[in-house]
Amino acid sequence: MNRADVTIVGAGAAGMFCAIEAARRGRRVVVLDHARAAGEKIRISGGGRCNFTNLSTAPERFLSQNPRFGLSALRRFTPIDFIARLDAAGIGWHEKTLGQLFCNGSARQIVGLLLADMAAAGVDLRLDTGIESVARSADGFTVETNGGPLTSQALVVASGGKSIPKMGASALGYRLAEQFGLPLVETRPALVPLTFGGAALEGMAALAGISVTAEVLARGARFAEGLLFTHRGLSGPSILQASSYWREGDGLTIDLAAGCDIAAALKAARQVNGRVAVRTALARHIPEQLARQIEASAGLGSTMLADQSNAAIDQIAARIKAWQVVPTGSEGYRTAEVTLGGVSTDALDARTMAARAVPGLYFIGEVVDVTGWLGGYNFQWAWSSGWAAGQVV
Report DSSP letters for 343-377, one per residue. E-GGGB-TTT-BBTTSTTEEE-GGGBS-EEPTTTH
| Burial grade of 299 (CB within 10 A; 0-12, 13-18, 19 or more) | exposed
Residues in the chain: 393
Q: How confident is the model at residue 1 (pLDDT cuts 50, 70, 90)?
A: low
Q: Residue 164 phi/psi, 5° resolution?
A: 55, 65
pLDDT for 132: 95
Please, are residues 370 and 385 in contact by the beta-carbon 8 Å criterion?
yes
Within the chain, residue ranges assigned H as helices are: 13-24, 40-44, 71-76, 79-88, 108-121, 172-179, 198-205, 237-243, 262-273, 278-282, 288-297, 310-321, 377-390
DSSP 259: T
Nearest by Cα to 360 from 124, 8, 3: 8
**Structural domains in the chain plus CATH codes:** 3-189+339-390 (3.50.50.60), 193-330 (2.40.30.10)
CA distance 321 to 76: 42
- Which residues have a Cβ under 8 Å from the Cβ of 4 and sit 6 or more positions away? 28, 29, 30, 124, 150, 151, 152
* pLDDT tens string 93-112: 999 989 999 999 999 999 99
Q: Is the pLDDT of residue 245 over 60?
A: yes
Q: Read off the pTM.
A: 0.95
Residue 247: Cβ within 10 Å count: 9
Residues 109-141 as b/e (b if ≥16 CB within 10 A, e otherwise) read bbbebbbebbeebebbbbeebebeebeeeeebb
**For residue range 45-89, what is the model confidence (pLDDT) as tens digits?**
999 999 999 999 988 999 999 989 999 999 999 999 999 999 999
Residue 324 makes CB contacts below 8 A (sequence gap 6+) with 251, 252, 253, 254
Closest C-alpha to 347, from 184, 153, 187: 184
Per-residue pLDDT at 336 exceeds 80:
yes
Helix (H) or strand (E) holding 148: strand 148-157
The answer to whether residue 167 scores a pLDDT higher than 90 is no
Q: Read off the pLDDT band of 340 (50, 70, 90).
A: very high
3-state class (DSSP) for residue 37: coil
CB 240 within 8 A of CB 216: no
Q: What is the pLDDT of residues 273-291, one digit of tens each?
A: 999 999 999 999 999 999 9
User: CA angle, 23 as apex, 21 and 28 as ends, to 5°?
Assistant: 145
The pLDDT value recorded for residue 69 is 97
Sign of CA dihedral 50, 55, 57, 63: negative
**Region of 172 on the Ramachandran plot (φ > 0 left; ψ -120 to 50 alpha; else beta):** alpha
Phi, psi of 301 (to 5 degrees): -70, -40
Residue 359 contacts by C-beta under 8 Å, 6 or more apart in sequence?
A: none
Cβ-based burial of 39 (10 A; exposed 0-12, middle 13-18, buried ≥19): buried
Residue 19 contacts residue 8 (beta carbons within 8 Å):
yes
Gyration radius of the chain over CA positions: 25
Q: Enumerate residues 6+ apart whose C-beta is below 8 A from 247.
A: 219
Lowest mean pLDDT among 5-19, 165-179, 198-212, 279-293: 165-179
CA–CA separation, 258 vs 214, rounded Å?
5
Q: How high is the mean pLDDT of the chain? A: 96
- Return the pLDDT at 165: 85
On the question of pLDDT at 137 being above 90, the answer is no
The predicted pLDDT at position 279 comes to 96
Please count the other Cβ atoms lying within 10 Å of the Cβ belonging to residue 323.
15
Average pLDDT of span 6-20: 98
- From residue 270, alpha-carbon distances to 280, 283, 284, 384 in Å are 11, 14, 13, 55
